[in-house]
Structure 1
Amino acid sequence: MTTLTQYRIALQIFQSNRLRRDYSDLAEIPQYDLVGEFFFSEMYGPRDFTARDAGARRLQHILQMLPGVHVRDVEVVLELLDLTNRLDGGLARLMFRHNTGTDFDEATYDYFYRLADNYDDRLTQLKLVDTSLYNVFRLSRSQLLGIGLHRSRLVAKLAGIEVAHDFLVKGYDAVRNVTDIDHFAQTVYTRELARLDRIYER
C-alpha cells in the first residue's frame, strides 16, 4: 500500500523535475548554474526537510548576529519554508485521498493543484520566492557575511541545527558569483505566475 510519505516524495520528485525542465535555459547561463541547482535541489528536491525546517527557526538567533542580516530577511525565508511545507503537504494528502498513484502525469498534477483551491497562498508563495531571491542576492554582496556563515558552522553543529545552517551556506555560495539576479528572478516570477493563472483559468 502506498503511504502518504511516498506521495510526498513523488510530489517532490515531480516538482523538482518540472522546475529543471521549465528553467533549463536559465541553468545554462553560467552565473545562474549554482542558483538553479540550489533552487531545484535544496528548495524542492526529493528529500525529508523536517530537520532543515525545524532548525531554521532556531538558527535565526545566530543569523541576526551576522553583519548585514536583518530580522525581516530571516522571517521571509522562514515564512517561505513554512508555506511551502504546508502547501506541498496539503497537495500530497489530497492526491493520497483520491488514490491517484505516485506515477501521476502533469495533467493529473495540475488537476489536483487547482482542486486544492489555494490560489492566494500560491501567489504569496511566489512573492516570497521573489523577495527571498533578492534578499539573498543583496546579502551575498557582503564578504563579511560569507565569512561569518562559514565560521559559524561549528556553533550550528553544537546547537543541533547543522542541516538548516548548511542550507543557508549553500544558498549564499550559490548566489555569491551572480552579478545580476534580475533576469533569473523576473523569469521565475513571470513563468510561475503564468502557470498559476493557467491552472486556475484566470
Structure 2
Amino acid sequence: MSDANSILGHLRAVAGERQRRAESLDLEACVRALKSYQQQRFARTYADLLATTRYGAASRFFLEELYGPTDFAERDAQFARVVPALVRLFPQDIVATVNALAQLHALSEALDSAMATQLAARTVDRAAYVAAWQATAHPELREQQIALTVSVGEALDRLTRNPLVRHSLHMMRGPSRAAGLGELQRFLETGFDTFKAMRGAQEFLATVGTRERALASSLFSANLQDAVDEGRLCDTPLGQLP
C-alpha cells in the first residue's frame, strides 16, 4: 500500500467512526462523555508536567489536540486534501510521521467507540470507566496506542532540529489560509513550536510511556470494587482516575 493510500485509509476509518456515531445519538453522547473523562484523567496524570515551564506547553498540546471531546472533523478534512501533495513533495521521515499520526488517530477513535458501547449511561465515573475498559479488552491495541503516541512525539522532536522544516511551515502560512487549510496549518505550527520549546523531549516522552503503560496494566487487572474504593487507590495508577 502506498503512503498516500495508507494515510487516507486511516482518515477514512476516522470518518467511518464519526458516521457511526452520527447515526446513534446515544453512542455520540457516550463517546463525548468518555473523551471528556479521559481528558480529565490526562490532566490528573500529568498535573506535575502541566505545572512546569519546560513541559507545560507540550502537555497542553497532548491534552487539547490529541485528547478530549473536541471535534477534529475540519482539520481531518483539510488534512485529507493535502495528502497527495504531502507524499509527493515532503521527505520520507515527515510522511512516515504523518502516517503514524493518522494511524494513532484512527486507532484511538475506534477504541473510544468500542468503550462507549460498553457504557450503560451518558455519564462516566471511575467504576464505569474501568468496567468499559475491561469489557473492551484488546491489550495489544492499547500497547500499540501508547507506542504510536511516543513514536509520533519522538518524530516531532527529531523534526524540530531541522530549521528548514520550521521555515517551510512559516512560508506555507499564507498559501494555507488562502487554500482553506488554516486549521491544519495551526495544528502543525503548534505541534512544531511546542516540541522545539522543550529543548529535547526524551524525558517527557519517557514519562508519558511509563505512566500510560502503568495505568493500562492497572486498568486491566483492577477489581471493580477497587475502582469505587477511594482509600485503596491513592498510591496506585488508578488514583489518577477522576
Pick the TM interval, shorter chain: 0.7 to 0.9
From 24, 32, 42, the equivalent of 1:9 is 32
Q: Relative contact order: is structure 1 or structure 2 higher (C-alpha 8 Å, sep ≥ 6)?
A: 1
Q: In percent, how many aligned pairs have the same letter?
A: 29
From 160, 172, 175, the equivalent of 2:195 is 175
Corresponding residue for residue 114 of structure 2: 90
Corresponding residue for residue 105 of structure 1: 125
Give a deviation string over 1:47-98, Cα, whole Å, max 9, x none. Answer: 1122223333433445453578532122111111111111112222332xxx
Report the AA paired with residue 213 of structure 2. Answer: L
Kindly state the Cα deviation for residue 106 of structure 1 after the two structures are TM-superposed. 1.6
SS of the aligned residue for 1:45 comes to coil
Report the AA paired with residue 128 of structure 2. Answer: T
Q: Is the 8 A contact 1:56 1:165 kept in 2?
A: no
Task: After TM superposition, list the pairs within 5 Å mapping 1:1-202 onto structure 2.
Answer: 3-64=26-87, 65-66=89-90, 69-95=93-119, 100-201=120-221
Q: Is the 8 A contact 2:75 2:183 kept in 1?
A: yes
Q: Which runs of 5+ in 1 are unaligned?
A: none
Range 3-12 or range 32-41, more displaced: 3-12
Q: Distance in 2 between matches of 1:159 and 1:118?
A: 40
Kindly state the Cα deviation for residue 113 of structure 1 after the two structures are TM-superposed. 0.9
Q: Is the 8 A contact 1:32 1:184 kept in 2?
A: yes
Q: Distance in 1 between matches of 2:182 and 2:122?
A: 31
Q: Is the 8 A contact 2:156 2:192 kept in 1?
A: yes
Q: What TM-score do the two structures reach when normalised by structure 1?
A: 0.87
Q: What TM-score do the two structures reach when normalised by structure 2?
A: 0.74
Range 80-89 or range 151-160, more displaced: 151-160
Report the AA paired with residue 188 of structure 2. Answer: L
Q: Which runs of 5+ in 2 are unaligned?
A: 1-23, 223-242
Q: Is the 8 A contact 2:31 2:113 kept in 1?
A: yes
Aligned residues: 198
SS of the aligned residue for 1:191 comes to helix
Q: Is the 8 A contact 1:57 1:78 kept in 2?
A: no
Q: Distance in 2 between matches of 1:8 and 1:122?
A: 17
